[in-house]
Structure 1
């Protein structure tokens, strides 16, 4: 039993702690514990056993550190590329004579392509291999980001410039759509139960660091060299990361071809009981009918939608809000401070969730607490922001709102690992599609409301806040961390 003992390490891995013999009594661990409340230690043991067996090709500790660092940095660059346009939106709008309706359309067009390819992205990552899919998609959005200024200028040499700009942003969204589902599929394939949620949460936290860096560096580049320099800088650094990703993927492929531990070498009853299919087997079809009929899946989807709506609305429109309401404020301040807050909470959220689980002994309760802190916290801050206030008060309130969003990375954000451990990429893709839909519906509606009401921001904040409350109520009533498929 000692081989299964959980280790308190940041990048833990069980690839070098495989048991020589697995006791026979764990063969029917699920049936034997049905109807009983297991002690916390036994719950951890059961999750370790199930998670170990479900790993297709477990990472070594060194591989885990390398991939976690690489994926964290990659997600950082993914969001830096995504936030580049919102950071420069006011300057670009002035140069190309866009009104708020035009700006809302361009900002939301990214999510048209992003949302439409989420499900297929997760499916391809699960079936073809996340490393391969991630490498191809990264090169696509990296090149599109670098050449965005040139493509925008070329669009205005045509008769329909807005149409071409929308197509360019949609294509960038399609390229980026494969990143997060591939990352979820990869961590699910190579890590054990609790490690999946923690490591995936750490990697996802890179998104907010990318947002903060793009806001800070972007504001400086914007004032010094113009908006085109930001796209070139982000595109170049992203290409450097792509070369690292390509190297790691190639090295992993060579290691798999040479040899190493294969999951089918573990010929024990536990294997037959808990690991019914390999994540690469042709028979590994996602049982969508079972998933879509389960209310907990829809509860998580609603929470994902409501939280993402608030986040993307702030993500896309905060620079506009501060520019309109406080024209003398420094862009480098309001583009960076809120994002720094969410970097901190998002990074520590997976560890807070693990600590909560060890104390409350319920992963479902842990997920609900983390998600409700996120949604209710954002809702309250948005309601407060609907009132007139000073710049410092507004900055503080929005910083708290973004900090609250970070707790999502211990809640619904990693819920696909709980609901579908063998189909994480596909389910994560569905969840991400729900969040991406808000990118074009929520962001566009905010622009429409502002255009029709003469830039009355209170309507936007109250409307968004109510949705957060709805998401918190639904997930607290019907959410779960129990396996569905």
Structure 2
């Protein structure tokens, strides 16, 4: 019996690898910062500004990248974005002082901004509704896996060859991926010679509008897309989600050292555990959503029940982490929090796909993601002021938990069926 081969899983494999590279590249500066600080004598405030500069370019180009993906397709946008940010990653090796690092980091954020939104656009084009959440989960799981791998990879390269060489090597990996993506991918399955009519029919099953080439898709005014209640509410909720994520990324290591008294080596090991559990959370979240959808045939319910339940659990665990005494309990509770937090992530990207026409998913997803990533600027700074004024970390954990509860409840009460979702009529090319 002839075994059916679906090329969409090759596309998803490439997207997964891109997300791994994305997070390795993004985390590289944090891992190399002790070496850079020693060489350039950076102050804590200068380091904070360098880290924050990434999000100014990143948040803006989440939206710009999504809009461009709708107009020109994921193939072009991801090729240019990966090439650009890889070059900027390698250019970090040429930085010679605070200002040069600041500029390179901001431009690096510009390059990385389009990746998640454009990958979501590609998933929307290449996967049927019944598999989308699972595909999103697999794609996005590359992020926390890359975060877990960044420490040993960049740390080893920096110790072996120097921190400058580490940036050049991981930049080369990104350029190689961009070449592979350009040669192997198309923006839609209609355009790819390896996609069979049977696979295309499977991809089109249950769609409001059959997938088509980007050039043939009609346009809807951008404001009409981004000002929909579901898009705005989902973006605000994702801001709350990301606040917890960036709070964990930026302040949890310092909390373990300052408040719990563990050493740097132990901190490096234990902070990898939440990332690894988060990888499993991404994968499980997508499978769980698709399973609920297949059994209930209720698309919105399958997204909301996972998002609301898991985000509430994550929020409570985050708040509890600041109250437990032992290091072991602290790490375990935070690991549970991050695991449930990552379980919710595929639901956000699935909700945004359901809220708007397929040909505008990039624009809506980019707006949602850009709005959410403003938390990368807010969370580290707000937490710093809270800790400085209160003299304790517990209030910072409490605020992160409270925002998580808000993010869950607004989705529960304010995201409904997209009854007026425009569905333009056109035929596939």
| Number of residue pairs the alignment of both structures matches | 412
Tell whether the 8 Å contact from 2:300 to 2:351 is kept in structure 1 after alignment: no
Alignment of 1:104-253 (within 5 A): 104-151=48-95, 154=96, 156=97, 161=98, 163-221=99-157, 227-228=163-164, 230-249=166-185
Of 368, 377, 380 in structure 1, the residue corresponding to residue 313 of structure 2 is 377
SS of the residue corresponding to residue 285 of structure 1 reads coil
Tell whether the 8 Å contact from 2:12 to 2:135 is kept in structure 1 after alignment: yes
Structure 1: distance between partners of 2:262 and 2:116: 36
**C-alpha spacing 1:76/1:254, structure 2 compared with 1 (3 Å):** closer
Q: For residues 67-114 of structure 1, what are the alpha-carbon distances to aligned partners after superposition, in whole Å with 9 as ceiling and x for unaligned?
A: 111110111110111122233445544554444433332211101001
Where has structure 1 moved over 6 Å in runs of 4 or more? Answer: 252-255, 257-263
Query: Are 2:284 and 1:340 aligned?
Result: no
Structure 1: distance between partners of 2:383 and 2:162: 27
What root-mean-square deviation, in Å, do the aligned CA atoms of Structure 1 and Structure 2 show? 3.3
Of 360, 370, 379 in structure 2, the residue corresponding to residue 423 of structure 1 is 360
SS of the residue corresponding to residue 469 of structure 1 reads helix
Q: Which residue pairs with 1:66 in the alignment?
A: 10
141-150 vs 83-92, which deviates more? Answer: 83-92
Of 255, 260, 271 in structure 2, the residue corresponding to residue 321 of structure 1 is 255
Of 338, 352, 358 in structure 1, the residue corresponding to residue 288 of structure 2 is 352
SS of the residue corresponding to residue 416 of structure 2 reads coil
Structure 1: distance between partners of 2:343 and 2:22: 20
Of 223, 243, 256 in structure 2, the residue corresponding to residue 309 of structure 1 is 243
Query: Are 2:299 and 1:299 aligned?
Result: no
Q: Which residue pairs with 1:461 in the alignment?
A: 397
Structure 2: distance between partners of 1:231 and 1:404: 32
Shift of 1:256: 4.0
214-223 vs 163-172, which deviates more? Answer: 214-223
Shift of 1:301: 1.4
Structure 2: distance between partners of 1:475 and 1:255: 34
Q: Which residue pairs with 2:330 in the alignment?
A: 394
Give the number of the structure whose alpha-carbon radius of gyration is greater.
Answer: 1
Query: Are 2:381 and 1:444 aligned?
Result: yes
Shift of 1:213: 0.9
Under a length normalisation based on structure 1, what TM-score does the superposition of the two structures give?
A: 0.76
Provide structure 2 residue ranges, at least 5 long, that are not aligned to the other structure. Answer: 423-429
Tell whether the 8 Å contact from 1:198 to 1:350 is kept in structure 2 after alignment: yes
Q: For residues 222-241 of structure 1, what are the alpha-carbon distances to aligned partners after superposition, in whole Å with 9 as ceiling and x for unaligned?
A: 66666445434432332332
SS of the residue corresponding to residue 387 of structure 1 reads coil
**C-alpha spacing 1:343/1:274, structure 2 compared with 1 (3 Å):** closer
277-286 vs 169-178, which deviates more? Answer: 277-286
Structure 1: distance between partners of 2:214 and 2:144: 32
416-425 vs 67-76, which deviates more? Answer: 416-425
Shift of 1:425: 1.2
Provide structure 1 residue ranges, at least 5 long, that are not aligned to the other structure. Answer: 1-15, 17-59
Q: Which residue pairs with 2:426 in the alignment?
A: none
Structure 2: distance between partners of 1:254 and 1:195: 15
Tell whether the 8 Å contact from 2:311 to 2:340 is kept in structure 1 after alignment: yes
Tell whether the 8 Å contact from 2:93 to 2:167 is kept in structure 1 after alignment: yes
